[in-house]
Chain A
């Protein structure tokens, strides 16, 4: 029969995580809260707001104190109209997975209802807000999670956020000879067909030019 992690389990795991994080980083600008998804089972997750200078310490704490052993996703966002304090945002999605190495010829069959404490799978969302500017940068966590390596490469490639201390940074999805400073997910780059209505007004596309013509290859 199927099973699942119950809401009580994920609530208690998230609350104990937030309590420890608040105790450890309470005096600084790091704030952590318990949030809930709005879909399906409304599971709990931990949201941490973190200024960039504290991010390496928070990352190590999450990795080694809270067992967040899985870096799922790194998302960069550009806010050209976000005000002086919020020009860019980097969101890290981490997960805690109760996975351990196995001895030969054995396996661990986890039963959701019997998981307790730090074995309960949990999601973390860490939001690092960066000020307005041309060169946003955030400390790299490549050394903390191997999985952050290519995620950070992708975020630099597409959004243009620099990761201080990241080794071997290079283009991954754009061509290697893309112009320096070209990061397509920044908001000044508009799509050639920005609105689908344009496609109907000028179906052949004779009158249409990319809005960033002349500025990129």
Chain B
């Protein structure tokens, strides 16, 4: 049969956003692929060059609405590297808790979107129900459901409200039981196993060489995680261990391993939150006023020319990184250049190539298992 090119996207349920996957097929088999990105390129890097350091945080929230808190934190750590700021420990604990709540919400969004890809519509409704619990918690902190603008250079915007700790613990404990429900539903579903197992193999060394990171690497059997390897925040003081999965083939991790590792990550996030809220310095039911030195350190507003800062961060989809050069407009109030590394920008072209050799029907299963997000890809 003659080979032909099929265009999947930019509006296609598989894409989880706006991008185009061009697939060359020979009958039902994929023989070549090409990814086309850039449909929602907003020029955040250019906009940032004319904004103060504090004004950039909301733009970073909007890089990915599914994990706004982790992206804002990611920028903040790089800005603190540039401006040489010491952060109070209580603020680091609050950042950890908020980032892990966001990780839970983001993985739930992934699972909820991945379920319908595979044919399980129930999953969408269940995940959205549980995600709402964590969005409510984040709303208590940031004041908004999705774009929080919560972390500040030197700390956080405001302290955790009184009673937040109790609601957090109750919801996380409830959710720990819900994870078991998800696993009972999915791991015993024949359709789920048949569609995921033995599909979309990706090798650990190949992935690292190609720039893939985060849960996708840990699914391939190595517990490499920026949270301990390039440490920030107080992850060394709370109780957790990096999620890792045992791949079943010499070819690496399949879609099922990547699903399993994200479920395990959600468990670890729960464990981390429950431990951190008990250990938080200053007490979990204390509410310090805005700008108190317990939650916000003083930070300079200008960076001199020649100063640079960058920081690794374990975002929900992999390792993100910001690189900032100081000394821009406004006598150093703006960055001269701000560069964003998005984990998915590197991953999507790699995933497109891993599909070669599989059937057309496997494309949604493979693509969804890597958790694509186009907001951060196109920036």
- By a beta-carbon cutoff of 8 Å, the part of chain A in contact with chain B is 1-5, 37-41, 43, 69-73, 75, 77, 91, 93, 95, 97-110, 112, 121, 123, 125, 145-151, 154, 158, 171-175, 184-185, 189, 191, 193-196
Interface string of B49-75 (1 = CB under 8 A from A): 111000100000000000000000000
Known A-B contacts A73-B339, A173-B38; the reply to A39 vs B222 at CB < 8 A is no
Contact residue among A72, A99, A154, A175 (Cβ-Cβ distance under 8 Å from B222): A99
How many positions in chain B have a CB within 8 Å of any CB in the partner chain?
77
- A123 contacts B230, C-beta separation under 8 Å: yes
Q: Are A102 and B220 in contact (CB under 8 A)?
A: yes
Would you call A191 and B235 a contact (CB within 8 A)? no
Write the nearest CB–CB distance from B231 to chain A, whole angstroms.
4
Please tell me which one of the listed residues B81, B252, B346 contacts residue A39 in the complex, with CB atoms under 8 A apart. Answer: B81
Closest to B235 in A: A2
A184 pairs with B217, CB closer than 8 A: no
The answer on a CB contact under 8 Å between A109 and B232 is: no
Chain A residues with CB below 8 A from B210, complex form: 146-147
Q: B62-103 interface mask toward A, CB cutoff 8 Å, 1 = contact, 0 = none?
A: 000000000000000110111111010000000000000000
Residues of B within 8 A of A171 (CB): 38
CB neighbours of A70 from chain B (8 A): 208-209, 211, 213
Contact yes or no, A40 B231, CB < 8 A: yes
- Known A106-B246, A184-B43, A194-B50: A172·B37 in contact at CB below 8 Å: yes
Q: Is B236 an interface residue (CB 8 A)?
A: yes
CB-CB under 8 A from A3, the residues of chain B are 228, 236
Complex CA–CA separation, A196 to B334 (angstroms): 12
Residues of B within 8 A of A75 (CB): 323, 337, 339
Minimum CB–CB distance from B166 to chain A (whole Å) comes to 24
Task: Flag whether B192 is at the interface (Cβ < 8 A).
Answer: no
Prevailing SS type, chain A contact patch: loop
Q: How far is the CA of A96 from the CA of B341 in the complex (A)?
A: 17
Q: Say yes or no for B224: interface residue by CB 8 A criterion.
A: yes
Q: Give, as a whole number of angstroms, the nearest-CB distance from B375 to chain A.
A: 13
The docked-state distance in angstroms from the alpha carbon of A100 to that of B252 is 11
Which residue of the partner chain, among A121, A125, A174, contacts B229 with CB atoms under 8 Å?
A121
Q: Which residues of B contact A103 (CB under 8 A)?
A: 250
Nearest first, the 3 closest Cβ-Cβ pairs linking A and B are A147-B211, A102-B221, A4-B231
**30 contacts across the A-B interface (CB closer than 8 A):** A5-B229, A39-B80, A39-B87, A39-B309, A40-B311, A43-B230, A72-B211, A72-B312, A73-B339, A73-B341, A75-B337, A77-B325, A93-B321, A93-B341, A95-B312, A97-B224, A98-B224, A99-B205, A99-B222, A101-B252, A102-B220, A103-B250, A104-B246, A104-B248, A147-B212, A150-B211, A185-B46, A189-B46, A194-B50, A196-B50
Within 8 A of A (CB), among B339-356: 339, 341, 345-346, 349-350
Q: Supply 8 further A-B pairs (C-beta < 8 A) apart from A38-B83, A121-B229.
A: A99-B208, A101-B252, A102-B222, A107-B223, A108-B221, A112-B228, A145-B211, A173-B379
In the bound complex, residues from chain B placing their C-beta under 8 Å from that of A196 are 50-51, 55
**CA A150 to CA B349, docked complex, whole Å:** 8
| Inter-subunit contact B311/A150 (CB<8 Å) | no
Interface contact A5-B211, CB-CB below 8 Å? no
B247: CB under 8 A from chain A? yes
- Most central of A1, A100, A147 by chain B CB within 10 Å: A147
- The listed residue with most B CB atoms (<10 A of its CB), out of A171, A173, A196, is A173
B176 CB-CB contact with A under 8 Å: no
